[in-house]
Amino acid sequence: MNIKKISVAFLSFVALAIPTLCFSVQPAKAGLDSKPDCPPSGNASSMTSDCYGTPTVMEIPFYEIGFCTSDPLDGYSFSRANCSKAWSSTTSETIDLADFNYTGLSEELTYEIPNQTYTHAYVIVSNTWGLKGEAYFNSKTYYTDENGGVTENLANYSKFDNKLTDMEGTESTGSCFDYAETTDYGPIKAVLTDSNLVTATGSASCNSSVRMIGSIDLDTDLVMNESVKTYNLTWIIRNMGLYVNWNTGGNSPVGWWAGPFVPNFVLSE
């Protein structure tokens, strides 16, 4: 089997992508579930439901990225048995997925990837993310503060650390440790784990978890062959990376959660 080292070029997320850097036109979001997009600036309507917004900061510590020939989270338990690492680091590297100018992950930490067809991709990240964002309701602007609360005072607009300890579970389990959803790029899954990548089993292990593993069943398979020289990765976070929580009966947000992000790969010959 032929093996090559793929050069990784991490690009800006789709909301800010420069046309000369993108190989294809991307949708504004990844078709995420039934919850609405948060309204644009200047919205005069009261808040009536939870919604997804676009964070201005989304700092995620990465440990590993890879490609697989089958689902690495089958049964919501992680396995590399049919996977190849594309990038890995024993100490995390943090990138801001909402930063137009970030340089990406260290290229010297990339791995050699066998020439074959990959149906899935996965990421291993810390489950504590830096988030900053705002939302617009009732002709007002609401901001994140340093504690993850909601403020109308621009002077208190700040990034906060959001630790993921409850992903609300899939419809079938309702548990804290797993997540599943469909997107325009393919179905996604995620689990909370310990440092040994063992999936949490209940509230105690969810609260003590330190990693999140996410996978995507790619709608378009990645076919690595001798003609592929590089791949480019665009992070999709617009109208999905920031979850804005509404208190039933109120007219404004009461909190913020981390929303999902989806990778989109484009091969270059």
Spatial distance between the Cα atoms of 255 and 247, rounded to a whole number of angstroms: 9
Spatial distance between the Cα atoms of 263 and 88, rounded to a whole number of angstroms: 16
pLDDT tens by residue, 21-79: 232 333 445 555 667 888 888 888 888 888 889 999 999 999 999 999 999 999 999 99
φ/ψ of residue 16, rounded to 5: -125, 15
Spatial distance between the Cα atoms of 113 and 14, rounded to a whole number of angstroms: 26
pTM: 0.84
Does residue 168 register a pLDDT over 60? yes
pLDDT tens by residue, 184-223: 778 889 999 999 999 999 999 999 999 999 999 988 888 8
Q: Which domain holds residue 107?
A: 3-268
Handedness of CA 226, 232, 237, 238 (dihedral sign): negative
**Amino acid at the residue 48:** T
DSSP annotation of 248 reads: T
Query: Number of folded domains in the chain?
Result: 1
Spatial distance between the Cα atoms of 177 and 166, rounded to a whole number of angstroms: 6
What 3-state class would DSSP assign to 16? helix
